[in-house]
């Protein structure tokens, strides 16, 4: 059975889509974004930067907001029970959530509730900027409270050894690596940087 990973973040715009693209390229994975709100679509970015096979979204919404609010603006009702990972194929699968862990899908259901139902290995993307210790440790507590298997933390941004060390020591979570800013952001440059900063064996 091929491996499936869930990629989420400590908050919005942490860089998890670029990370997901790099991961897809590294391990040859397919990509699925269950709910897309706003444009451009993250699946288009991942296809361009990671060369991944794209599985269509369950819901593609027009408003750039939380899925709950975007669905309300579009006159759409999201049914969280209909969000189930696609069948396993020959290649691994990377699933990317929307925004942070606590983003609402409906008035009653958060994205983390869906992750808790899936019980799939989760990768937490954490920015290295100011405030990351608090945001990351709180996110890890929420993940563990729901018994979601946490593969590790992927840091994104400039080198910040002190913050990274505190997070790893306090949480005991595996440090998967750090993705620095890639400029210009192209498929080739992302693949090169990703291969240097992350180990393929960690996702085997």
Q: Please give the positions annotated as active site.
A: 33
Beta-strand relationship, 4-9 and 122-127: parallel
State both tokens at 179.
């993705």
Distance (Å, whole) CA 89 – CA 95: 14
Chain centroid to CA 165: 22
């Amino acid at each position: 059975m091929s491996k499936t990973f869930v990629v989420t973040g400590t908050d919005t715009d942490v860089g998890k889509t670029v990370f997901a693209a790099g991961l897809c390229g590294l391990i040859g994975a397919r990509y699925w974004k269950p709910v897309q709100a706003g444009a451009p679509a993250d699946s288009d970015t991942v296809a361009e930067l990671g060369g991944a096979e794209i599985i269509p979204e369950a819901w593609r919404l027009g408003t750039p907001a939380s899925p709950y609010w975007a669905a309300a603006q579009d006159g759409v009702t999201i049914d969280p029970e209909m969000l189930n990972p696609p069948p396993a194929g020959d290649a691994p699968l990377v699933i990317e959530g929307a925004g942070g862990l606590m983003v609402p899908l409906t008035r009653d259901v958060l994205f983390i509730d869906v992750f808790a139902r899936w019980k799939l290995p989760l990768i937490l993307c954490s920015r290295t900027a100011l405030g990351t210790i608090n945001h990351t440790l709180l996110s890890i507590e929420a993940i563990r409270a729901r018994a979601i298997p946490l593969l590790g933390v992927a840091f994104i941004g400039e080198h910040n050894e002190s913050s990274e060390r505190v997070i790893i020591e306090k949480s005991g979570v595996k440090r998967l690596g750090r993705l620095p800013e890639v400029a210009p952001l192209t498929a080739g440059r992302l693949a090169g940087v990703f291969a240097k900063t992350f180990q393929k064996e960690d996702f085997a």
